[in-house]
């Protein structure tokens, strides 16, 4: 990515953590940087956005910190799972961090996001905490779903994050339903429904897209194409792996999903399009470093050379690190200090989550129904519930 400094005016207030002395010394909050994305956008039935993206030193350092936090959290989750402190399903996001942070940079918390089971980092991007994440993963009361959802069911309703979902592709119709509500309320918000290349062949996705197009809903379908549906390469499962064209009658855009700034530009473009014209598909060309889930070593259907090659050439964190260093936004030592701080924050959150109590058995039937339609209102006698319903 090529980058140039455009302006430097007003304000010399400190923007970052004290350790980032160089950043605060050289730049202010009004500095604007222009970046050219690594590769061009490829468009279907629409004109692609410009490759030139505006950013700031604060945003770039924020990207680095947020993606590093996500990476460290997922690596720690891998270790906790192997120690049997996390049980059940667990799908890790390391390698795909640029999608989460780039998308968040382009939208507001009034916009909604719904995703599949690889959801930990999207929760963090929506403002969730490390403690809530680890507590949920370990089934503790302080988790974001009160310890009852686990890895696949993170939620943050107040930030319009409607969760991880375990049924492949089932979140897409739900996301289009949220978009219907947004169009009805005319509040200027949109919904990003995220799914993988494996889910891209699900029939319900096409049904939801069809009705969304008919109703011109502010629905953005985001295919995180990490090139493997479980252990099956995309070319073995899809006759047409150009997922951004799958809507046919709906515009699409292929994006370098390992480039946080390209993701930001694409999501900004998609939001503007969806509010004016209805649905659009974004295909994020990304890659997962871990296997599909913790039961998958991730190396039986792809070579270790392939994984290491992506790490060396396309890693989203290293791309941002290079930009920061090449333009003197921080020193290598300062970025290392930031990573040490992140490691400590993750370790502290894990320690706190380990001490958090398990949910009380009496909570087993709570949060199953909306209040007024379940055991909170009628007790365990289902005859009372049946009699109360029309």
Our count of domains for the chain comes to 1
Q: What is the pLDDT of residue 227?
A: 96
Counting as low any pLDDT under 70, the low residues of the chain are: 1-30, 372-390
What is the rounded distance in angstroms from the CA atom of residue 266 to the CA atom of residue 121? 19
59, part of any domain: yes
Give the phi and the psi of residue 156 in degrees, each rounded to 5. -150, 80
284, part of any domain: yes
DSSP category for residue 218? -
144, part of any domain: yes
Q: What is the pLDDT of residue 234?
A: 94
271, part of any domain: yes
Q: What is the pLDDT of residue 368?
A: 82
330, part of any domain: yes
Give the phi and the psi of residue 161 in degrees, each rounded to 5. -105, 110
What are the tokens at 317?
């964190």
Q: What is the pLDDT of residue 120?
A: 98
What is the CATH number for 249? 3.40.50.970
381, part of any domain: no
Q: What is the pLDDT of residue 2?
A: 45
Q: What is the pLDDT of residue 9?
A: 30
Residue 108 domain boundaries: 3-359
- pTM of the predicted model as reported, rounded to 2 decimal places: 0.89
Q: What is the pLDDT of residues 225-264, one digit of tens each?
A: 999 999 999 999 999 999 999 988 999 999 999 999 999 9
Q: What is the pLDDT of residue 385?
A: 47
How buried is residue 83: exposed, middle or buried, by Cβ count under 10 Å (0-12/13-18/19+)? exposed
38, part of any domain: yes
Please check whether residue 257 is in contact with residue 97, taking contact to mean a CB–CB distance below 8 angstroms: no
30, part of any domain: yes
Q: What angle do CA 256, 290, 139 make, to 5 degrees?
A: 115
């Amino acid at each position: 990515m090529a980058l140039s400094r455009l302006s430097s005016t007003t304000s010399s207030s400190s923007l970052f953590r004290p350790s980032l002395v160089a950043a605060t010394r050289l730049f202010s909050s009004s500095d604007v940087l222009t970046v050219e994305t690594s590769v061009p956008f490829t468009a279907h039935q629409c004109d692609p956005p410009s490759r030139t993206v505006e950013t700031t030193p604060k945003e770039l350092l924020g990207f680095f910190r947020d993606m590093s936090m996500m990476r460290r959290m997922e690596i720690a989750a891998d270790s906790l799972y192997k120690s049997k402190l996390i049980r059940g399903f667990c799908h890790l996001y390391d390698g795909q961090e640029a999608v989460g942070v780039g998308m968040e940079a382009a939208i507001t918390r009034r916009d909604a996001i719904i995703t599949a089971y690889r959801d930990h980092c999207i929760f963090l991007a929506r403002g969730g905490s490390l403690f809530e994440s680890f507590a949920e993963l370990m089934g503790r009361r302080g988790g974001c779903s009160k310890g009852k959802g686990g890895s696949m069911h993170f939620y943050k309703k107040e930030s319009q994050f409607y969760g991880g979902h375990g049924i492949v592709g089932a979140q897409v119709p739900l996301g289009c339903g949220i978009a219907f509500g947004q169009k009805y309320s005319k509040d200027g918000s949109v919904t990003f429904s995220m799914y993988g290349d494996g889910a891209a062949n699900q029939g319900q996705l096409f049904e939801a897209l069809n009705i969304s197009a008919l109703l011109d809903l502010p629905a953005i379908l985001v295919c995180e194409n990490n090139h493997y549906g479980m252990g099956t390469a995309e070319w073995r499962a899809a006759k047409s792996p150009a997922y951004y064209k799958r809507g046919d009658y709906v515009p699409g855009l292929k994006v370098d999903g390992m480039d946080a700034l390209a993701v930001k530009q694409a999501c900004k473009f998609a939001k503007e399009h969806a509010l004016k014209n209805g649905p659009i598909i974004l295909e994020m060309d990304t890659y997962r470093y871990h296997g599909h889930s913790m039961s998958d070593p991730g190396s039986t259907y792809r070579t270790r050379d392939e994984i290491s090659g992506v790490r060396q050439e396309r890693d989203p964190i290293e791309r941002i690190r290079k930009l920061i260093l090449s333009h003197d936004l921080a020193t290598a030592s300062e970025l290392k200090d930031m990573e040490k701080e992140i490691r400590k924050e993750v370790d502290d959150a894990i320690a706190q989550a380990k001490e958090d109590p398990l949910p009380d058995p009496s909570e087993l039937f709570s949060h199953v129904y909306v209040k007024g339609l379940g055991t909170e209102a009628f007790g365990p006698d289902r005859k009372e519930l049946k009699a109360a319903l029309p």
